[in-house]
Structure 1
Amino acid sequence: MVPSRPHAPTTPARTARVDALIAVGVGVVVLAAVLFADPLLVGGALLGAGGVFLFRRQLFDWTTMLFVLTLVVMLVPIRRYALPIPVGFALEPYRVLILGLLIALAVRLIRRGASTMRPVLWGWPIAIFLWTMFFSIMVNAVSLTESGLIEGAFSNIIQLTFLLSVVVLVRQMLTTERITLLLLNAIVFAGAFVGLFAFVERATRRNVFLMLQHFLPLTVLRDDAESLRAGGNRAYASSQHPIALSVLFCLIIPLAIYLIRHSPWPKTSFSRTLVYVCAIGAMMLGMMAAVSRTGVVTLGVMFLFVLFLRPRLAGILASVAVPLVLLVGLLLPRLFESMVLSLFDIQGLIASQMTSIGMAGQGRLADLPDALAEFAARPFTGTGLASRVVVGDDANAQILDNQWLGTLLETGLVGVVGLIALFVWPIVVMVRFVVRSGAPQHRRDLVLAIATASAGYAVAMLFFDAFAFMQALLMLFLLYAVAAWAMTEGSSSWRPSAGAAGTVRVRAERAV
């Protein structure tokens, strides 16, 4: 064995040279600031750079960046803010952060080798999805080019690839069960924070998440969102739309239920239950402030999913939820009628989805005749990814509020296969793991929570343009990474079970 080369000692001369270079560099920057820029602005930048340098080991730790990424996704509204750096396009915080983490991951792989990569598990579903999207561009390249939409098509697939990279990034940053539990707690309490201030927004018409420029170095891209329902403003909070906000809460609530049983803090069962029930209550307040029936439907789908897999757990949840629902109906009758009772008025519900025919915001059912005719013309490959422009001066199509239908029209049946691979197949794999794996109970419960959230999201995609609202989509991909950790980390030590085939299946997929 060749002995490792000892590190060269740091001599006083080398230290002096480094200090001299730093001093000269700072002096040049300060001189340039005095002559060509605002000294106050540059001084603040130098102060910030100094702080980053001093705490570089803490700031640029993988675990720290995992929580920074999570909080940026949860608390900084997407398409609302950008960093104040003029580069010709908006430097949104989440984009800059993900790009920086991708570069850091690439450097780590170059230095340590690809063998250090932790199993992502969802490689094939991601690949199938992206290839079906790319296939729709290639098949429709001529028409997309002639209509001037080819650039938007490639931009769209790059954006989807960029968002999906979160699955890989987060999986590499999840190394221990402690970090995973801390991440789940961060998500849940951030969700409770958003839910609480969403309810405040409904009451006061002031969105605190659109005031971040007063506390952070951000520039506002737009803050003109407004939607009315049930006698007041619908809350946007940190999301792009009230529907997306309600779906975000639906993704997080199963995690809170999981933590009621498995979180190491608080220590006592009563205190732990109280803490997470309060968090769930805050998110439910936020969902009511969003006044979204999509959220109610998503919760209903998630309940049926749990009822099928864990009937006893579903019974406990129902026994707690029913009295709370009745209480909400008594205290907030107008919201309750708009969100829940209106779902049982079938004729009124159908009529509401047939309104504004011919206008940009016509109802979902009013979209179907023209959409089905368009599908019949190009059933297999569609008209091409990003060929349907629904906003702006170049708009050429209706807003469908249905990601499954929109993808069907743009990419045809081939693209729907990609959607199934990305949003349905992982649920099947997770259910197999829950039912047949020999993994510890807390791992199977975590995968069940994520599978429940994923099932709710897959159905919610029928009621909103999921790819246009990145916050909820990023949260789903983050949960995919957590599921990959739960299903693979330490799996070699799990005992075999009666359903050993499921365990073998998971281990075989670890190489993906």
Structure 2
Amino acid sequence: MPVDPRLRLHRVVVPLSLAAGAITLGSFAVLPLTGLLPGGATAALLVLGLLFGLLVLSARDACSVLTWLVVLLFLVPQPFVLVGPLKSVGNPAGLVALGALAIWAASRVLGLIEAPELHPVRWTLLGFSVAALASYGAGLTRDLTAGEAASMDRVVFQHLALLGIGLLAVDGLGSRERITTLLQRLVMVGGLAAFIGILEFVFSAFDFRSMMLLPGLTTSAELDSYSRSGFDRIAAGASHPIEFSVVTAALVPLAMHFTIHEQSGRWKYWLALLALLSALPLSVSRSGFLTLAVGVAFYVAALTNRGRLNVLVLGVIGLGVFRAVVPGLLGTVRGLFLNADTDPSISGRTEDYAAIPGLMQDHWLIGRGTGTFVPDVYFFLDNQYLATLLQGGLVGLVVFVALHLIGLGVARGVRRRSTDPELRSLGQALAATIASLGVASFFYDSISFRQSAFLLVLAIGCAGALWTLVRDEPKRHHRDAPTGARLDHQIGR
């Protein structure tokens, strides 16, 4: 009888669990000193201590490790790093991701993880990392500025972190129950982050970043405020409002899935979905709305005609309510699209694209070097595909596109092979999240932002883990869409 992966990983994950427990105990140890800390910092410290305590008491498996990652990714502002010599590499979520890579490697060496040898997601992730390392080597062959060299070293750790998340998810989750649990936690934590953004918009005195600047943390970048057309743009724990909007929008298909299929506690997912949809316009970002449109369209394609109509009606009602509550904001967002052809921020950046062929001379194969295209030295691209071409060459671009296509393929494969309506819907939701993030990469440097980059590989890893469970099932052509029927029943005929 095969051993439960949670038990097999126990020996590797326990040290990380003990570290989390130490942090929890440390948070309570400072209770006598709470008078020396600002009230917001004290509250944030205790909340994080509670979260870590709950996680320590959970199962010692890949799901718990990735849950820690999600909590730190969304609830600790991304510009924050540990005090010390690590600087930007010392981001808490990034360190857990690097730990995930170590756990995966140790588990594979010790034989604690039994996984298919020819899994397409695993090999694509490894190819993505090899291409990045080859590009790193190419960067070392030319004269680099100090900014380019520092950025190149920093981005290597980012790629290792991405590799750790994807590999631990695809090989370590092991069961449908743990995959579903992780995705449910992802939606709930994402909904909490969206609610924090709403508080930032409603209450000008609410400063989440200042509140979360806990002892032992410092900032690796200036904490800028953003505004557009008279509206303050929210970011919550993200690095920028664009990243906040894209990640928020990409989580909507998963939230829709759980509102439809979760049998107990469905109200939690309705609240998370409402928070995600309400927070998105507050970022005043074109990219977020485009991401939302792609994700929802991809997921709604799996519904019946009646289900699609219900979504459309609820969407129109929601827009009307939002317009009444926040007058003028939707008009501002509409203007961003209607006036895009005259927007100087867009035209200026597209004009810079003419310099790309010259920069690529003699670097078409493996690029100019991973992480070397620094905006302060060159210019802003706001296009991850072009950034990947410049830094990783044609090899890097092909592997980056393949990462999205393989992720989409295994997510859709779950839907095509499974006969369980709930599992088919979850596969479609993951495909929608991956597709929406892939389209968003045309409009900003998605891999340069930790939340969007980590979410992409986490979604691909979860899709790959589900595909492992159904890979031996034959593909089927389903004539109906039970997901839509369930939605019809919930909303009313």
Class of the TM-score when normalised by the shorter of the 2 chains: 0.7 to 0.9
State yes or no: 1:469 paired with 2:449.
yes
Where do residues 281-320 of structure 1 align in structure 2 (5 Å cutoff)?
A: 281-306=274-299, 308=301, 310=303, 312=305, 313-320=307-314
| Contact 2:101/2:163 (<8 A) preserved | no
Change (3 A) 1:75 1:275: same
Q: 1:351 is matched with which residue?
A: 342
| 2:355 pairs with 1:370 | yes
Matched, 1:337 2:331: yes
- State the one-letter code of the partner of 1:406: A
1 CA distance for matches of 2:55 and 2:280? 38
**Which residue number corresponds to residue 430 of structure 2?**
450
1:401 is aligned to 2:348: no
Look up the match of 2:75.
Answer: 75
Q: Does 1:459 align with 2:439?
A: yes
Name the aligned partner's letter for residue 186 of structure 1. Answer: R
Structure 1, residues 352-383: CA drift from partner, whole Å, max 9, x if none? 1457xxxxxx7433333333554577544443
Contact 1:120 1:168 in 2 (8 A): no
Q: Residues 338 and 366 from structure 1, CA distance in 2 versus in 1: closer, same or farther, beyond 3 angstroms?
A: farther
Match of 2:65 in 1: 65
Say if 1:307 and 1:148 are closer, same or farther in 2 by CA, change over 3 A.
Answer: closer
Q: State the secondary structure of the residue aligned to 1:233.
A: strand
Q: 1:182 to 1:124 in 2, by over 3 A?
A: closer
Distance 1:499 1:132, change over 3 A: farther
Task: Give the direction of change, closer, same or farther, for the CA distance of 1:223–1:184 in structure 2 (3 Å limit).
Answer: same
| Residue 403 (structure 2) aligned to one of 414, 422, 434 | 422
Hey, what's the Cα distance between the residues in 2 that align with 1:412 and 1:107? Answer: 32
Q: 1:410 aligns with which of 359, 377, 391?
A: 391
Give the conservation status (yes or no) of the 8 Å contact 1:242–1:292: yes
Aligned AA for 2:70? T
Match of 2:318 in 1: 324
For residues 421 and 194 of structure 1, do their structure 2 counterparts lie closer, same or farther at Cα, with a shift above 3 Å needed?
A: same
Structure 1: how far apart are the matches of 2:210 and 2:117?
37
Q: CA deviation at 1:446?
A: 0.7
* Equivalent-residue separation in structure 2 for 1:240 and 1:404 (angstroms): 20
Alignment match, 1:156: 155
Displacement after TM superposition at 1:477 (Å): 1.5
Q: 1:58, 1:276 → 2: CA distance? A: 24
Residues 144-176 of structure 1: per-residue CA shift (max 9 Å, x gap): 468884564354234212222101223444233
Shift of 1:255: 0.9
What's the secondary structure of 1:236's corresponding residue? Answer: coil
What is the aligned residue count? 426
Alignment of 1:373-392 (within 5 A): 373-375=358-360, 378-390=363-375
Distance change (3 Å), C-alpha of 1:179 and 1:231: same
Q: For the residues of structure 2 that align with 1:451 and 1:55, how far apart are their CA atoms?
A: 30
Task: Determine the C-alpha separation between the residues in 2 that align with 1:200 and 1:140.
Answer: 44
* 8 Å contact kept, 1:248–1:472: yes
Instruction: Report the secondary structure of 2:374's partner residue.
Output: coil
- Whether the 8 Å contact between 1:133 and 1:418 is mirrored in structure 2 is no
Write the letter of the residue equivalent to 2:340.
L
Q: What is the CA deviation profile of residues 332-351 of structure 1, one whole-angstrom value per residue up to 9, with x for unaligned ones?
A: 232101223431x2xx2111
Structure 2-normalised TM-score?
0.76
Structure 1's unaligned 5+ residue stretches are 1-39, 42-50, 267-271, 356-361, 501-512
Partners of 1:288 and 1:98 in 2: how far apart?
Answer: 30
Shift of 1:462: 1.1
Residue identity in the other structure for 2:456: L
Q: What is the CA–CA distance in structure 1 between the aligned matches of 2:442 and 2:351, rounded to whole Å? A: 15
Quickly say closer, same or farther: Cα 1:172–1:264, change in 2 above 3 A: farther
Identity %: 22
Secondary structure of 1:482's partner?
helix
Q: 1:144 to 1:263 in 2, by over 3 A?
A: farther
The answer to whether the 8 A contact 2:171-2:465 is kept is: no
> 1: distance between equivalents of 2:348 and 2:126?
34
Which residue identity is paired with 2:371?
A: A
C-alpha distance in structure 1 between counterparts of 2:345 and 2:85, whole Å: 44
- Sort the Cα spacing of 1:316 and 1:121 in 2 relative to 1 into closer, same or farther, 3 A: farther
Q: Secondary structure at the match of 1:260?
A: helix
How many angstroms apart in 1 are the aligned matches of 2:155 and 2:475?
44
TM-score, reference length from structure 1: 0.73
Give the partner amino acid of 1:293: R
The residue number in structure 1 matching 2:273 is 280
Equivalent-residue separation in structure 2 for 1:471 and 1:447 (angstroms): 21
Q: Tell me how far apart the structure 2 counterparts of residues 221 and 154 of structure 1 sit (CA, whole Å).
A: 15
| SS of equivalent to 1:333 | coil
Q: 1:55 to 1:465 in 2, by over 3 A?
A: closer
Change (3 A) 1:353 1:57: closer
Q: Distance in 2 between matches of 1:428 and 1:491?
A: 12
* 1:207 and 2:207 are equivalent in the alignment: yes
Distance 1:410 1:107 in 2: 31
Residue 29 of structure 1 aligns with which residue? Answer: none
Report what 2:176 is aligned to: 177
Match of 1:35 in 2: none
User: Which deviates more, 61-70 or 479-488?
Assistant: 61-70
C-alpha deviations, 1:298-333, integer Å up to 9, x for none? 112223434555463444322221221233234323
Cα distance in structure 2, aligned partners of 1:141 and 1:222: 26
Give the residue type in structure 1 aligned to 2:349.
Answer: R
Deviations 1:230-260 (A, max 9, x none): 3132111010000000111122111111112
| Contact map agreement 2:98 2:160 (CA 8 A) in 1 | no
- Call closer, same or farther: CA 1:402–1:177 in 2, change over 3 Å: same
- Give the direction of change, closer, same or farther, for the CA distance of 1:259–1:380 in structure 2 (3 Å limit): same
Larger mean CA deviation between 166-175 and 241-250 belongs to 166-175
Note if contact 1:140-1:384 (Cα within 8 Å) is conserved in structure 2.
Answer: yes
Residue 163 and residue 315 in structure 1: after superposition, are their counterparts in 2 closer, same or farther (change >3 A)? same
Give SS of 1:224's match. Answer: coil
Larger Rg over CA atoms = 1
2:399 maps to amino acid: G
* Offset of residue 491 of structure 1: 5.1
